[in-house]
């Protein structure tokens, strides 16, 4: 599974840690920036990661900013993207099973780095349940 990873300056340190975690755990990952802590605009990075999923270059994505909120708002503008901002492992598990989320958003200024890596681990390992009620609800997201 290829994972697209991106951040702004507010999520840069966690992006670096997550890329190392992915490499150490055998995931194929692509770094969509930011490439330094210089100030940049989160919608630009969210767009690159979202489009890499839309065009099937990557299967899933992880976006980090200061709060995770800007990244989740930006990513959810793109058709077919279901971005979930998670601050706990229960939500990370549930959003994969119920929402089939394809982007995980994290807030570097909100949660600790070890929790962030646990959330990434759970989110990547959890499959969509495939239940018809969940699929029906996901289908309705594309109706709007
Ligand atoms: C950057 O200062 C900060 O606004 C950004 O990382 C993010 O939290 C936006 O939602």
What pLDDT digit, counting tens, does each position of 111-144 carry? 999 999 999 999 999 999 999 999 999 999 998 7
Is 86 a catalytic site residue? no
Q: Which residue ranges form the domains of the chain, and what is each CATH number?
A: 2-141 (3.40.1400.10)
Q: Which residues pair with 117 in a beta bridge?
A: none
Relative to beta strand 83-85, strand 28-31 is unpaired
Say if CB 58 and CB 81 are below 8 A apart.
no
Burial class (CB in 10 A: 0-12, 13-18, 19+), 99: middle
> Tell me: the pLDDT tens digits for 67-112?
999 999 999 999 999 999 999 999 999 999 999 999 999 999 999 9
Report the distance separating Cα 53 and Cα 56, nearest Å: 5
Q: What does the angle CA 67 – CA 16 – CA 118 come to, to the nearest 5 degrees?
A: 65
Q: Pick the catalytic residue: 9, 40, 93, 98?
A: 98
Active site residue 65: yes
């Amino acid at each position: 599974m290829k994972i697209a990873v991106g951040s702004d300056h507010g999520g840069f340190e966690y992006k670096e840690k997550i890329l190392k975690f992915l490499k150490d755990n055998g995931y194929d990952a692509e770094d969509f920036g930011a490439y330094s802590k210089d100030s940049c605009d989160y919608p630009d990075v969210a767009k690159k990661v979202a489009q890499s999923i839309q065009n099937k270059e990557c299967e899933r994505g992880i976006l980090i900013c200061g709060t995770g909120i800007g990244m989740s708002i930006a990513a959810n503008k793109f058709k077919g993207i279901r971005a979930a901002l998670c601050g706990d492992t229960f939500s990370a598990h549930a959003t994969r099973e119920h929402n089939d989320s394809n982007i995980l958003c994290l807030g570097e200024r909100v949660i600790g780095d070890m929790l962030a890596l646990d959330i990434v681990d759970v989110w990547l390992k959890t499959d969509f349940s495939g239940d018809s009620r969940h699929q029906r609800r996901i289908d309705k997201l594309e109706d709007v």
